[in-house]
Homo-oligomer: A and B are copies of this chain.
Amino acid sequence: MAKGPAVVLASGGLDSCVAAAWASRRWRPAMLHVNYGQRTERKELECFERQAAHFKAEQRLVVEAPHLGRIGGSSLTDRRMAVPKDEKPGEIPSTYVPFRNATLLAIATSWAEVIGAEAIVIGAVEADAPGYPDCRAAFFEAAERMIELGTRPETHIRVEAPLVAMTKAEVVRLGMDLGAPLELTWSCYQGEAAPCGRCASCQRRAEAFREAGVRDPLEGD
């Protein structure tokens, strides 16, 4: 039987690339990238396009959600705020973009309903987004219920967050097992020419590859 489509939210980062590899075993991926004014958007979009080509996505959509940058409240979109080098345990870091994942899911659902997709796949990793309230399994369950109620009666869209309970090292390992093109991903919050190696996202990525016992293909010799 021919596989149906699923909308895959793809930032250009490592986690969503692994989620896309996971999704492409089950569905035909319809790849969606949302530009909300993050600092490294140019590089992330380039990675998204290369990943979409890798996964042979027949449908791809790049949309703008400029309100997240306009509303502010996050060092990821507000250039007047510094990106923190360290994160304190138990504290939500300033890179948190308030309720961002709800916007991503709302956009994905509108598209999913129009193209008849069966699922939305999001590569959220709770352990990798320390304290971000919209990166937890309970949040995605609530989102699925809201989607069921807020779409046409004949529309049924599942919300799949296959990595949500994994460690970042497990995500790297799953990516290797699935043959995900990790060389086409970008994690750094700050740099576009080369990863800065210092921001919290670079540190988490390096640690994950170290723990997984794998060499990061983005690292030079």
Contact = CB atoms under 8 A, between A and B. Distances in A.
Interface of A: 34, 61, 63-68, 70-73, 92, 97-103, 105-107, 109-111, 113-114, 133-134, 136, 138-139, 142-143, 145-147, 149-153
A133 B114 contact: no
A63 B66 contact: yes
18 contacts: A63-B67, A65-B65, A67-B107, A67-B110, A71-B111, A73-B114, A98-B151, A99-B150, A102-B109, A102-B146, A102-B147, A103-B103, A133-B150, A134-B149, A134-B151, A136-B149, A139-B150, A146-B146
A62 to B, nearest CB: 9
Given A102-B146, A106-B102, A114-B98, A71 B61 contact: yes
Contacts of A63: 66-67, 70-71
A68 B107 CA distance: 8
A97 B110 CA distance: 8
A145 B113 CA distance: 22
A65 B102 CA distance: 14
Nearest to A134: B150
Contacts of A150: 99, 101-102, 133-134, 139, 142-143
Contacts of A110: 67-68, 71, 73, 97-100, 102-103
A139 to B, nearest CB: 5
B70 A67 contact: no
A146 B143 contact: yes
A151 B160 CA distance: 20
Given A65-B65, A98-B114, 17 more contacts: A61-B70, A64-B67, A67-B107, A72-B114, A73-B114, A97-B110, A98-B110, A98-B113, A99-B109, A102-B105, A103-B106, A103-B107, A133-B150, A139-B146, A139-B150, A142-B145, A142-B150
